[in-house]
């Protein structure tokens, strides 16, 4: 099968890579580019563990073919800050005890970022709607909603 | 990794139509159904034509009293569209919970229709609006009514070299609408049964009623018998109950008695009744 050249921006860096068309954006970022923040969960668009921000929107990267990323702007959890510091959403997740095993966390944080970028002071209901596509099997959603509410305050 | 295939991304609709008519391609748009399908296979015997970048098939516009929704318009774009909010709030409601946000940001209205899943959220609302599908191939264009286009669960009347270009409808005349959806988990569960209704009430009398259930009949379509029953009468809980019973009768006529009938029958009756009560804005 013919490889396809794909060009896109990942966390502020221009990427040009030859990839097999049968890879998803999840495969490309995790396996080929080595960014392990996004997680491989269900691979059928139901869990949100593989969430990335694509052109400003939360998207399940297991539902995008890698070559469909041509020209796109992608942000993963690694790209939230440009140095080693934590993003306020990350700080809030730690402070509010919203992380247990951490498997859902990168996806949750990216869904939260899209929400807060568009709506700096969301209600708890709006927060719940924004993370409705992200499944957490251990922490419980209350702490996560608390954390996002707190992050909104920190980002004021 | 998915099973192997070759991939092509045409730049224009023209180029896409040419490729599509000459090679063994399947189309991918948002990928939210297609990738799940591909993942079920060990090998696939087709290649992939990615039309997701074709700007010609995106966006919503109003032209000569008709609304056109480009086939590649995402659910999120339908949901936030000012035109849809104003002219077709029924459709807005129908896509509100069509999958998670991550899915609505990628999934397209055209993909939803062409897959013809009986659980497609947008279809009952579009059928209620008497929507048409506008298809294009290298040979030209043709227009079909949506409820005639979908011929069987997961099957449509699309020809091998045709691409769905847009969906269009005239804004309906109504005084009330409602989209009632039954799901397991609100955000994600692929919609089970749902029903889209429109009511036009003048001087306390129902002038016209539209009842369009989804995932109830083998193919989408309005239930004229139940609509006629409601028309010409004063809205009431009793009347709407009868309309609900009519819908379930027609369901059994069309699908026969099945293992699921015992569950579906009372549920569809209540759904239709409640949707009509909401649309009429009455208390019971
Ligand atoms: S791995 Fe993509 S949604 Fe679950
Ligand atoms: S912290 Fe374990 S899945 Fe959410």
Q: Which of A110, A111, A120 is nearest to A149 (CA)?
A: A120
* Cβ(B237)–Cβ(B275) below 8 Å: no
Range of the domain at A118: 88-154
Decide if pLDDT at B181 tops 80: yes
**Per residue in B50-103, pLDDT tens?**
999 999 999 999 999 999 999 999 999 999 999 999 999 999 999 987 888 999
Residue partners of B176: CB distance under 8 A and separation at least 6: B198, B199, B201, B278, B279, B280, B281
* Domain membership flag for residue A83: no
> Which residue, A78, A104, A122, sits at the end of a domain?
A78
- A104 and A66: one domain? no
In whole numbers, what is the pLDDT of chain B averaged over residues?
A: 92
Is B5 an interface residue toward A (CB < 8 Å)? yes
Tell which phi-psi region holds residue A34, choosing left (phi > 0), alpha (psi between -120 and 50) or beta. left
pLDDT at B189: 47
**Is the CB of A50 inside a 6 Å radius of any atom of ligand 1?**
yes
B32–A63 CB contact, under 8 Å: yes
* CA distance, residue A44 to nearest chain B CA (Å): 6
**Residue A72 belongs to a domain with what CATH number?**
3.10.20.30
Same domain, A42 and A96: no
Instruction: Using pLDDT thresholds of 50, 70 and 90, give the confidence band for residue B183.
Output: low
A65 and A98 together in one domain: no
Summarize pLDDT for B104-115 with one digit per residue, the tens.
999 999 999 998
Helical axes A88-95 vs A105-118, angle rounded to 10°: 120
User: Do A123 and A149 have their domain in common?
Assistant: yes
The residue whose two tokens read 């306020």 is: A88
Residues in contact with ligand 2 by the CB-under-6-Å rule are: A 99-105, 136-139
Confidence of residue B276 (pLDDT cuts 50, 70, 90): very high
Instruction: Decide if pLDDT at B186 tops 70.
Output: no
Q: Report how far residue B105's alpha carbon sits from residue B203's, in angstroms, rounded to the nearest whole number.
A: 42
Tens digit of pLDDT for each residue in B147-174? 999 988 888 999 999 999 999 999 999 9
The residues facing B208 across adjacent strands are B200
Domains of chain B: 1-172 (3.30.465.10), 176-280 (3.30.390.50)
Helix-, strand-, coil-residue percentages of chain A, each rounded to 5: 40, 15, 45
The residue from A44, A78, A112 where one domain ends is: A78
Same domain, A69 and A10: yes
Q: Which residues in chain B have their CB less than 8 angstroms from residue A111's CB?
A: 101-102
The CATH number of the domain holding residue A145 is 1.10.150.120
Residue B198: phi and psi, rounded to 5, are: -130, 140
> Measured between alpha carbons, how far is B79 from B89 in angstroms, rounded to an integer?
9
* pLDDT tier at B264, thresholds 50, 70, 90: confident
Using 50, 70 and 90 to split pLDDT, how confident is the model at B184?
A: low
Structure tokens at B47: 């290649």
Q: Which residues from A are below 8 Å from B76, CB to CB?
A: 57
**Average pLDDT score, chain A:** 96
pLDDT of residue A43: 95
With cut-offs at 50, 70 and 90, classify the pLDDT of residue B185: low
Give residue A37's pLDDT band: very low, low, confident or very high (50, 70, 90): very high
Residue B191 has pLDDT above 70, yes or no: no
Q: Mean pLDDT, to the nearest integer, of B14-26?
A: 94
Domain boundary residue, one of A36, A53, A78? A78
Rounded Cα–Cα distance for residues B183 and A42 (Å): 20
Q: Is residue A64 part of a domain?
A: yes
Q: How far is the CA of A133 from the centre of ligand 1 (A)?
A: 9
User: Closest-lying ligand to the alpha carbon of A48?
Assistant: 1
Cα torsion angle, B180, A115, A47, A18, sign: positive
Nearest partner of A39 among A109, A98, A119, judged by Cα: A109
**Residue B49 to residues A24, A37, B22: CA-CA distances in angstroms?**
15, 30, 12
Number of domains in chain A: 2
Rounded to whole angstroms, how far apart are CA atoms A48 and B187? 12
Angle at B6 between CA B5 and CA B8, to 5 degrees: 135
What's the pLDDT band for B188 if we cut at 50, 70, 90?
Answer: very low
CB proximity B30 to A under 8 Å: yes
Asked if A137 and A107 count as a contact pair (C-beta separation under 8 A), the reply is no
Whether A114 and A62 share a structural domain: no
Place of tokens 């400003």: A56
Are residues A70 and A33 part of one domain?
A: yes
* Chain-chain contact of B100 with A132 (C-beta, under 8 angstroms): yes
**Of the ranges A86-95, A102-111, B54-63, B93-102, which one carries the lowest mean pLDDT score?**
B93-102
Strands B132-137 vs B194-202: parallel, antiparallel or unpaired? unpaired
């Amino acid at each position: 099968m013919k490889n396809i050249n794909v060009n896109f921006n990942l966390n502020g860096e221009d990427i040009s890579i030859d990839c097999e068309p049968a890879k998803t954006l999840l495969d490309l970022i995790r396996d080929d580019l080595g960014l392990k923040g996004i997680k491989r969960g269900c691979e059928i668009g139901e869990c949100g563990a593989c969430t990335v921000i694509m052109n400003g929107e939360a998207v399940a990267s297991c539902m995008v073919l890698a070559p469909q990323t041509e020209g796109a702007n992608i942000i993963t959890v690694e790209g939230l800050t440009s140095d080693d510091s934590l993003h306020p959403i990350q700080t809030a997740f730690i402070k509010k005890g919203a992380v247990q095993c951490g498997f859902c966390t990168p996806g949750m944080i990216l869904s939260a970022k899209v929400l807060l970028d568009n709506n700096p002071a969301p209600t708890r209901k709006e927060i719940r709607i924004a993370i409705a596509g992200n499944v957490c099997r251990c922490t419980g959603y209350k702490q996560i909603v608390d954390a996002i509410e707190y992050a909104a305050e920190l980002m004021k | 990794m998915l099973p192997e295939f070759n991939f092509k991304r045409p730049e224009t609709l023209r180029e896409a139509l040419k490729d599509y008519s000459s090679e063994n391609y399947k189309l991918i748009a948002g990928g939210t159904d297609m990738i799940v399908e591909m993942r079920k296979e060990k090998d696939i015997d087709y290649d992939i034509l990615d039309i997701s970048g074709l700007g010609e098939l995106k966006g919503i516009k109003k032209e000569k009293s008709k609304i056109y929704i480009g086939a590649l318009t995402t659910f999120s774009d339908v949901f936030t569209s000012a035109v849809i909010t104003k002219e077709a709030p029924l459709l807005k409601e129908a896509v509100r919970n069509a999958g998670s946000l991550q899915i609505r940001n990628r999934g397209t209205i055209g993909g939803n229709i062409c897959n013809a899943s009986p659980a497609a959220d947008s279809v009952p609302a579009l059928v209620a609006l008497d929507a048409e599908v506008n298809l294009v191939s290298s040979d030209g264009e043709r227009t079909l009514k949506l409820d005639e286009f979908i011929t069987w669960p997961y099957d449509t009347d699309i020809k091998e070299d045709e691409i769905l270009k847009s969906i269009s409808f005239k804004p309906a005349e109504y005084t009330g609408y409602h989209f009632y959806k039954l799901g397991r988990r609100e955000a994600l569960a692929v919609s089970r049964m749902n029903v889209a209704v429109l009511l036009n009430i003048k001087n306390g009398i129902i002038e016209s009623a539209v009842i369009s259930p989804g995932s109830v009949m083998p193919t989408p379509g309005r239930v004229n018998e139940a609509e006629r029953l409601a028309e010409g009468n004063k809205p009431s809980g009793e009347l709407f109950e009868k309309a609900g019973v009519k819908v379930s009768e027609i369901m059994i006529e069309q699908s026969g008695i099945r293992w699921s009938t015992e569950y579906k029958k009372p549920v569809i009756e209540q759904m239709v009744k409640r949707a009509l009560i909401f649309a009429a804005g009455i208390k019971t």
